[in-house]
Structure 1
Amino acid sequence: MEQGHYDNMMEELLTQAPDLYRNFTQIDRDLFNEIVERATPYIQKKVTFWRKPIEPGVRVVITLRFLVTGDSYKSLQYLFRVAHNTISHIVPETCRAIVAVFGDEELQVPPTPEARQEVAWGFEERWSFPHVIGAIDGKNIRLCNSPKGGTHYFNYKKFYSMVLLAVADASYKFLYVDVGAIGS
């Protein structure tokens, strides 16, 4: 892992080209550090006799790169020097941790008709789409099926996955996120 992007390129970008750091992670260093700090209790693994755990910062950046680029786990394994089957556990776990930590304060579905109207005005003003109160999209997050997992997570694309579903306003702010629904 010492030769991966996290240990080398991210620090280099931060010191020499902060705008490229933001392009790589899609967030600034302060927000990245806050996510790592607040998600660590959920994603930090214990050091054991058999392995040294992957540090929370690596887990967060792998997840961000997966969500930003849509790269496969096999592609990401070469960038971060973490096995693709390990990444298949890291991404869903880190997504759940981020939602658990930030969900109540950052994800707020407009509770009143006036608030929903404000979101609709944002879509009409910015994108010329009237009567829209959210842009929705989803992503199948590939995972390894457990030995007793059955076919619940086997999806129409012929692989095991869980679903990440999100609704955003006209300014790309998430209004709702759901991570963990079965892939089928």
Structure 2
Amino acid sequence: MEIFLRGLFSEIVERVTPYIEKKVTFWRKSIEPGLRVAITLCFLAVGDSYKSLQYSFQVAHNTISCIVPETCRTIIAAYRDEELQMPQTPEAWQEVAQGFEEWWNFPHVTGGIDGKHISLRNPPRGGTHYFNYKKFYSMVLLAIADASYKFLYVNVGAIGSESDGGVFAQT
């Protein structure tokens, strides 16, 4: 498993390097693409704050606050077409359903769906739109996955106060 993860990490770095690599200047040394990807993946996996990550990676928190969003956008752009593929034909949907029946003994299931509230600061002029029933400001991530946990569909950006049914209806 460890060898697989190293290979996957190397593949991600190789794919995104042309887009996130910065030039070394007279004033500063750039942060290597591998370190940018490592910081981003650690942030996504663990959910540590930028302040906490600055001690682990020896990179200032304000720099990390720029690295993480940029690297996320780049990873999404690099993998979107091959990794996030919603089935388009009845046969493709049958294949997804077959996976659920074979792996999990759930017949006639075409996807597992769930949502997650992503905590955030209330945006300017956000009012109470982003304030959710859990009593914090958030944005909703909604995802559908197949039987092998691969995402078929992802929607991020619904306001936190919206109901699950409302978020689903807008996807």
Could you state the TM-score of these two structures normalised by the residue count of structure 2? 0.69
Residue 49 of structure 1 is matched in structure 2 by 26
* 1:92–1:141 Cα contact (<8 Å) kept: no
Q: Mean Cα displacement is larger for which, 107-116 or 126-135? A: 126-135
Higher relative contact order (CA 8 A, sep 6+): 1
Structure 1 position 31, deviation (Å): 2.0
SS state of the match for residue 176, structure 1? strand
* 1:123–1:129 Cα contact (<8 Å) kept: yes
Q: Does 1:135 align with 2:113?
A: yes
SS state of the match for residue 50, structure 1? coil
* 1:119–1:134 Cα contact (<8 Å) kept: no
* 2:93–2:110 Cα contact (<8 Å) kept: no
* 1:139–1:163 Cα contact (<8 Å) kept: yes
**How many pairs are equivalent?**
153
Structure 1 position 99, deviation (Å): 1.4
Equivalent position amino acid for 1:71 in 2? D
Higher Rg of the two aligned structures: 2
* 2:112–2:146 Cα contact (<8 Å) kept: yes
State the distance in 1 between where 2:140 and 2:66 align.
14
Aligned CA RMSD, in angstroms, stands at: 3.2
Alignment of 1:81-92 (within 5 A): 81-92=58-69
Distance 1:134 1:182, change over 3 A: closer
Distance 1:58 1:155, change over 3 A: farther
Q: Does 1:62 align with 2:62?
A: no
State the distance in 2 between where 1:49 and 1:163 align.
42
